[in-house]
């Protein structure tokens, strides 16, 4: 069975009403990144950071998967599909995708503030100050902040190297190390790039699809599924 590897960014979730990670003014939901998405911010004002991610989690839980999410899930009927996402929402899973790797964590889980390998489900949208892990440290959102290691990047690179078909959706390839994953895809593999504004990529066998995710992904998945029936 052919292996499709998909790398998704904020653009696929934007159509579900979730704000892109960083708007054109450099802010995220009105906050400077340094105020809410760094280890220093957590040490300086953990209550603010906790409140910020509680609001983001509430937005995620209120959002619904869109046509692009469902289309990717449908590919599993004919292909082996691995989705590598830069997004911290759970919309891929809720749409039915069964093999999703979250590079930057997932907001519906919490983690120990001293050992990031200790993660826990969150009941509802609110994670409160005073809730602690088994080591006695405060729980925080299971999200990779700026300045922290991205532990899933090496496994993701290995998966990209195994792709028979590669699909890039809704990402400007501006955030590293995630942006470098496309370089691990073999030269001979067809690489579909779906975005209203196609990012510059200096690799072989690129097929640009200049469209928003819900339009471009649906068209491509229909084509891929139809090719299996011929």
- 92, 102, 104, 142: the catalytic one is 104
Number of domains in the chain: 2
Distance from C-alpha of 91 to C-alpha of 41, rounded to nearest angstrom: 27
Same domain? 111 vs 177: no
Q: Has 102 been annotated as catalytic?
A: no
Which residues in 170-189 are b (16+ Cβ under 10 Å) and which e? bbbbebeebbebbebbeeeb
Same domain? 161 vs 211: yes
Q: Is the pLDDT of residue 25 over 80?
A: no
Q: Is the pLDDT of residue 22 over 70?
A: no
Mean pLDDT (the chain) is: 92
More confident residue, 99 or 34: 99
Distance from C-alpha of 49 to C-alpha of 179, rounded to nearest angstrom: 26
Same domain? 32 vs 114: yes
Residue 21: which pLDDT band, with cuts at 50, 70 and 90?
Answer: low
Has this prediction a pTM greater than 0.75?
yes
Same domain? 99 vs 109: no
Q: Which residues pair with residue 194 across a beta bridge?
A: 169, 209
Range of the domain at 49: 19-62+105-143
Same domain? 112 vs 191: no
Same domain? 100 vs 161: yes
């Amino acid at each position: 069975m052919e292996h499709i590897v998909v790398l998704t960014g904020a653009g696929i979730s934007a159509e579900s009403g979730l704000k892109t990670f960083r708007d054109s003014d450099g802010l995220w939901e009105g906050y400077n990144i340094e105020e809410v998405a760094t280890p220093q911010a957590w040490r300086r004002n953990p209550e603010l950071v906790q409140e910020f991610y509680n609001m983001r989690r509430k937005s995620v839980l209120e959002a619904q998967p869109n046509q692009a999410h469902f289309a990717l899930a449908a590919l599993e009927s004919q292909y082996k599909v691995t989705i590598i996402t830069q997004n911290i929402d759970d919309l891929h899973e809720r749409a039915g995708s069964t093999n999703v790797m979250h590079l930057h964590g997932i907001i519906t889980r919490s983690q120990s503030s001293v050992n990031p390998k200790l993660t826990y489900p969150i009941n509802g949208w609110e994670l409160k100050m005073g809730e602690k892990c088994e080591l006695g440290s405060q729980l925080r959102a299971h999200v990779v902040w700026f300045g922290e290691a991205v532990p899933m990047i090496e496994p993701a690179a290995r998966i990209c190297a195994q792709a028979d078909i590669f699909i890039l959706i809704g990402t400007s390839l501006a955030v590293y190390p995630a942006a470098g994953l496309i370089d691990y895809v073999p030269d001979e593999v067809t690489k579909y790039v779906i975005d209203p504004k196609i990012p510059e990529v200096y690799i072989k066998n690129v097929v640009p699809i200049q469209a928003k995710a819900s339009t471009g992904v649906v068209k491509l998945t229909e084509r891929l599924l139809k090719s299996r029936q011929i």
